Amino acid sequence: MINIALKTFIGLIFCICIHFACSTLQPNSNTSNEITLEEAKHNGIHIVIPDTGFHKIVELRNRAVKSGFLGEKIYSEALLISGIDTIRARLRLKGDHTDHLKGSRWSYRIKTQGPVLNETKFSIQGMHTRAYFSEWLFHELLGYEGLVRLQYEYIPITVNGIDSFSGVYAFESHFRSEILKNQNKKVGPILKFNEDKFWDYKNKAGKGQDRDSLIRTISKIQLTNKKGFNKKDGVKAKEMLGAYIHQKVKAEEVFDMKKWAKFMTVNAFMSGKHALRWHNLRFYLNPETHLLEPVGFDLSSWFLKKGTWHLHKDSVESFYQSFYESNEFKQELIHSTQRMSEKSYLDQFFNERENKIDECADAIREERPQYKFKSSGLYSIQNIFKKGLESLD
Query: Which H helix or E strand runs over 33?
Result: none
CA distances (Å), origin 93, targets 70, 252, 275: 8, 38, 21
- Between CA 197 and CA 218 the distance in angstroms is 7
Alpha helices, DSSP H only, in 253-353? 257-269, 327-341, 343-352
The domain ranges of the chain are 4-178, 190-392
Contact indicator for 303, 272 with CB cutoff of 8 Å: yes
Q: Is the pTM of this model over 0.75?
A: yes
Q: pLDDT in tens for each of the 393 residues of the chain?
A: 545 444 444 454 544 444 444 445 555 555 568 999 999 999 999 999 999 999 999 999 999 998 888 878 899 999 999 999 999 999 999 987 788 898 899 999 999 999 999 999 999 999 998 888 999 999 999 999 999 999 999 999 999 999 999 999 999 999 999 999 999 999 999 999 987 655 555 545 554 445 566 677 778 999 999 999 999 999 999 999 999 999 999 999 999 999 999 999 999 999 888 899 988 999 999 999 999 999 999 998 765 545 556 788 888 888 999 999 999 999 999 999 999 999 999 999 999 999 999 999 999 999 999 998 889 888 988 988 888 887 776
Is residue 117 a contact partner of residue 171, using CB atoms and an 8 Å limit?
Answer: yes
The maximal CA–CA distance of the chain, rounded, in angstroms, is: 68
DSSP string covering 127-149: GGGGTTHHHHHHHHHHHHTT-B-
Whole-angstrom distance, CA of residue 44 vs CA of residue 41: 5
- With contact defined as beta carbons under 8 Å apart, do 324 and 313 qualify? yes
CA distance 76 to 69: 19
- Closest C-alpha to 50, from 10, 85, 23, 74: 23
